[in-house]
Copies of this chain bind each other. A is one copy, B any other.
Amino acid sequence: MQRYFFKDNSCLDRLNNRIIINDKENFHHIKNVMRMKIGDKLIVCTNDMQEYLCEIDSITNNVFLNILEEHHNTNELKANITIAQGLVRREKKEEVLRRLVELGAYQYIPVEMERSIVHLNKYNENIDRINTIIKECSEQSERGILMKYLEAISFKDFIKLNDYDYKFVCYEESGRSNEHSLKSYLDKLKDKKILVLVGPEGGISNKELEILDNNGFIRIGLGKRILRTETAPLFIMSVLGYGVEFYED
């Protein structure tokens, strides 16, 4: 069933047990793209992880929905995982975004790094396109909320991010030496805010690594093989997501 995501729950009309859709984009999608009619059903997801099974009551300048059922979405990971990645080319980034939405990431942050092939001043972000990708994938994978996308930031600004329980940096050499740091955190992730940095194509420079070390980032290896920058986020998100979900009890 078609899902519509909202950034808050201001669409909710509790008094009348209904939802009013008055934003252009969702209105257009319901009326003109899906060509829905009175009586058709859809799911409204608000960012507090509530899901409302609704039936269309009327379509005027707004869409009015009667709420049939209300559920709390339980598909979301019980941890808040942000993947940050050195700036990579658009196609690669979009591929990574698609997978990360499916795998349950909370947020994605592109970071300008020393060895990034693309740079901030030439980094054109088509936010509309990115939002569409995130919406479509969220719908398909039955997410409860939309993955957040932070516009690209500098490494200097990235380092200042501090509101996390764990900050990890994926480092090749830690993988080769088979340091087992990842394992020692896997059962401690539940309900935590986690930030993971993956380098760009060219990897992380020694200078950056030193700064990360000095700012509370923990080096973790991703195994003995060299993963490309577009594969590393999928590996780490899979393993962390597995950790959160399967160590729940």
Check A227–B74 contact: CB distance below 8 A: no
Check A223–B242 contact: CB distance below 8 A: yes
A141 contacts partner chain B, Cβ-Cβ < 8 Å: yes
Interface of A is mostly: loop
Contacting A99 at CB < 8 Å: which of B142, B231, B239, B245?
Answer: B231
Check B74–A231 contact: CB distance below 8 A: no
Check A102–B231 contact: CB distance below 8 A: yes
A31 contacts partner chain B, Cβ-Cβ < 8 Å: no
Most B CB atoms within 10 A — which of A75, A143, A224, A228?
A224
Nearest CB of B to A13, in Å: 29
| In the complex, per-residue mask of A73-87: 1 if CB is within 8 Å of any chain B CB, else 0 | 011110000000000
B contact residues around A164 at 8 Å (CB):
none
Nearest CB of B to A26, in Å: 22
Number of chain A residues whose Cβ lies closer than 8 Å to a Cβ of chain B: 35
A58 contacts partner chain B, Cβ-Cβ < 8 Å: no
A89 contacts partner chain B, Cβ-Cβ < 8 Å: no
Check A104–B245 contact: CB distance below 8 A: no
Given A180-B246, A182-B246, A228-B140; A223-B241 close (CB under 8 Å): yes
B contact residues around A239 at 8 Å (CB):
238-239, 242
State A172–B182 Cα separation when bound (angstroms): 27
Q: CB-nearest residue of chain B relative to A175?
A: B245
Check A225–B183 contact: CB distance below 8 A: no
A235 contacts partner chain B, Cβ-Cβ < 8 Å: yes
Given A183-B246, A245-B178; A226-B142 close (CB under 8 Å): yes
Check B238–A234 contact: CB distance below 8 A: yes
State A178–B249 Cα separation when bound (angstroms): 11
Q: CB-nearest residue of chain B relative to A176?
A: B75
State A247–B104 Cα separation when bound (angstroms): 24
The 3 closest A-B pairs by CB, nearest first: A238-B238, A183-B246, A75-B224
Query: Can you list 8 pairs linking A and B with CB atoms under 8 Å apart?
Result: A102-B231, A140-B226, A141-B227, A142-B225, A223-B245, A224-B245, A234-B235, A242-B242
